[in-house]
């Protein structure tokens, strides 16, 4: 009986972590090309500035212009100036999967080495947010508490 209880306890802990991992991304909108998702657990607000992770999941595979690698999603950390409706990218990474994760393949398959590296741009300048853009949707979520 004790062993059974221990197994159930471990299973419950594993499931709670798994549910948390899947629950982080929330869809906030989409169009014919892209689904826009945010991770509100990453929201940090300091004064008039807010930072949050967002993901663009493409409905049709694209290509990284620098490497030629196939891209199905982009995950980025952006900073928003809630007082001026401007934003700037702080970090971005492209992924071969649509869910912002690296693709896992069977060990017997020759895996193509994806070379996506996170690009950090902490010195980038703030840019205006266009109405109807994906950045406008993320801005509204990040700055709604202001």
Q: Residue 107 in 3-state DSSP?
A: coil
Helix, strand and coil percent figures for the chain, each rounded to 5: 20, 40, 35
For the chain, the farthest-separated pair of C-alpha atoms sits apart, in whole angstroms, at 62
Q: Which residue has the higher pLDDT, 122 or 16?
A: 122
| Element holding 137 (H helix, E strand) | helix 134-143
Tell me the torsion sign for CA atoms 134, 127, 90, 116.
Answer: positive
Domain boundaries defined on the chain: 25-143
Q: Which CATH architecture has domain 25-143?
A: Beta Barrel (2.40)
| 58-79 residue pLDDT tens | 999 988 877 788 889 999 999 9
Q: What is the pTM of this model?
A: 0.73
């Amino acid at each position: 009986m004790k062993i059974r209880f221990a197994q159930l306890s471990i299973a419950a802990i594993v499931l709670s972590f798994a549910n948390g991992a899947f629950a982080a991304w929330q869809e906030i909108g989409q169009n014919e090309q892209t689904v826009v998702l945010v991770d509100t657990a990453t929201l940090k607000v300091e004064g008039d500035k807010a930072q949050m992770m967002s993901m663009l999941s493409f409905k049709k595979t694209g290509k990284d212009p620098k490497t030629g690698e196939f891209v199905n999603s982009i995950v980025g950390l952006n900073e928003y100036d809630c007082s001026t409706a401007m934003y700037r990218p702080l970090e971005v990474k492209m992924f071969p999967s649509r869910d912002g994760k690296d693709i896992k393949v069977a060990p017997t398959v020759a895996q193509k080495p994806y070379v996506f590296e996170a690009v950090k741009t902490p010195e980038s300048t703030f840019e205006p947010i266009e109405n109807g853009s994906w950045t406008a949707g993320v801005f509204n979520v990040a700055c709604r508490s202001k």
